[in-house]
Structure 1
């Protein structure tokens, strides 16, 4: 099977994504093909419409939804020929979409809100990938840290500019931790692919990661004799205190939404189908990913998908995967507005609910309240 990537990333860059939350820099694949070059209105009957999708960060197991949709034929069934590009996170992903090089991209909700608040309206959110935030603090059992309060006064490693640090005050406030206590935390910011190494090398007491990124860190810790095969890492999920924050969301270029709404709808539905299949069939999906990305560690990828399963489905079991509750989104945006001192965000404009699985706000019972 052909590789997903336009330009191969190094093994380090690809697999580092399995252990990093928030923004990072990995290299953007060149020569992307925008759907504007082959608009659906001009596509001959029976010919697949070309489009591009950029993952949030790299191509670890937690980013397997696109690979699964491709490998299982979900994209093809929707009439799409999708090029999947390993994301570089943060500004790099937005730049790729805003320039028209990439049509669809996965970005973290905690980064999407402040970008929109500051005028970044070239993309809109069309579905949730993670109904709950995956941001967490991770540490070794030997550190003796089992609660948010015990992180005070400790050294914490994070990716430079990443969400685990920027959102930390909101997470801490959920446990009645005041600013004076927050000031005792010592942050060490490094390149995203170096975060896990800080913990393994004993340079920090904890690190900020996506929960689904812990299998790779655990495997490294076992290899260094820091924990046994019977032990787990200590994980403190932000979702324990910030229940209204989503994780990654799917975005589409605003111009694409205006010009090719059916393509946006078809892609969104096919990707959600791939996401649903991936978390329900982690071992098979890890193998599918490995066929397209040879650097994949199937064991780690399957473990990531297994963990991610509890984070992708809506709180309302009657709603489909990808659903966004407009009221909950507003609450989540308000949390970020407060901690990051942002101007108010209109979630009904930032999110195009006409593409969100489950219907528009008018069809959403929560939105009518």
Structure 2
């Protein structure tokens, strides 16, 4: 089975725009939701598991992905379309739960924000994050993950926030344009865009070198789906886990499958997957409560969360494979 996305996927990634997802169904194929599918790296395990038949082996025939540009839209996709399972940002999951929506977190997705870095121009005199005092730094949009990470990274590095002008540029591509034109001195980038454009920029700081592990995305479902189709839910989680394991064990082939799914040049897909393998980007599904708390601390900083989070009623580890169920 091949997955057709279109080369507009990488262009859309530069602006974090939504993408249409035609995938040929086989038999009684079903769809799940994945935030930024066709744009960012969250979707790689699903692409591999569909192509390699891992979902079918686990007991569910996933042949299509619903997507969105993220946030509450992806949560609504989970509740309204296809099977009621999806990988969404932790921020969206927490917001949905606080709104009283019927969801449970059942697995971790992207286990880290290590895919995100800030870059500058090759000839820039700015060499470290501390050199940003008195300068301008880009992030995508207010209350975004990139705004959160800018604030947390500067603070963790001992940089006075009042001495750095933080500028919302609207998207990854727009931030890089502002950097190229001198409007800012640093801008965020992530794979697969970084894999494509790495020769154009010089890394200024990687978030992974500044901040602790932070869970970016989680798998969610509804209590109704848990009650009515528990075996299918286990199969989805197990199938994704096989895709993750394949990517770590076979980054070359996994990168080619990812590239085919996103219709990227093969060498670009391989480079992007190898970048993610190097930083342990994809969780096999196990839920690290400390990494959840670290992300929520950032969400508090940008005003997306108010007060503590009690994970007990929101997290259900019982559908993970037994070796991944240990609490953390």
Question: Shorter-chain TM-score: which interval?
Answer: 0.7 to 0.9
TM-score, normalised to structure 1's length?
A: 0.74
Q: Does 2:14 align with 1:59?
A: no
TM-score, normalised to structure 2's length?
A: 0.82
Q: Does 2:171 align with 1:204?
A: no
Aligned alpha-carbon RMSD (Å): 3.3
1:148 touches 1:236 (CA, 8 Å); kept in 2?
yes
Per the TM alignment, residue 94 of structure 1 is displaced from its structure 2 partner at its CA by 2.0
1:113 touches 1:336 (CA, 8 Å); kept in 2?
no
SS in 1 for 2:313: helix
Aligned 1:126-165 pairs, distance under 5 A: 126-134=106-114, 135-161=116-142, 162-165=144-147
Q: Distance in 2 between matches of 1:280 and 1:19?
A: 29
Q: Does 2:156 align with 1:174?
A: yes
1:61 touches 1:305 (CA, 8 Å); kept in 2?
no
Q: Describe the superposition over 1:107-162 as per-residue Cα deviations: whole angstroms up to 9, x where unpaired.
A: 333x3465247426443322222322233322233223333322333333333343
Aligned 1:195-274 pairs, distance under 5 A: 195-210=175-190, 213-218=193-198, 221=200, 233-274=202-243
What is the aligned partner in structure 2 of residue 96 from structure 1? Answer: 77
What is the aligned partner in structure 2 of residue 308 from structure 1? Answer: 276
What is the aligned partner in structure 2 of residue 68 from structure 1? Answer: 48
Per the TM alignment, residue 313 of structure 1 is displaced from its structure 2 partner at its CA by 6.5
Unaligned runs of 5+ in 2: none
Distance 1:154 1:247, change over 3 A: same
Q: Distance in 2 between matches of 1:333 and 1:61?
A: 21
Unaligned runs of 5+ in 1: 34-46, 222-226, 228-232, 315-319
Q: Between Structure 1 and Structure 2, how many residues are aligned?
A: 322
1:128 touches 1:248 (CA, 8 Å); kept in 2?
yes
Q: Describe the superposition over 1:175-214 as per-residue Cα deviations: whole angstroms up to 9, x where unpaired.
A: 2234423xx3240322455444444455432222336641
Q: Does 2:315 align with 1:351?
A: yes
Aligned 1:173-192 pairs, distance under 5 A: 173-181=155-163, 184-192=164-172
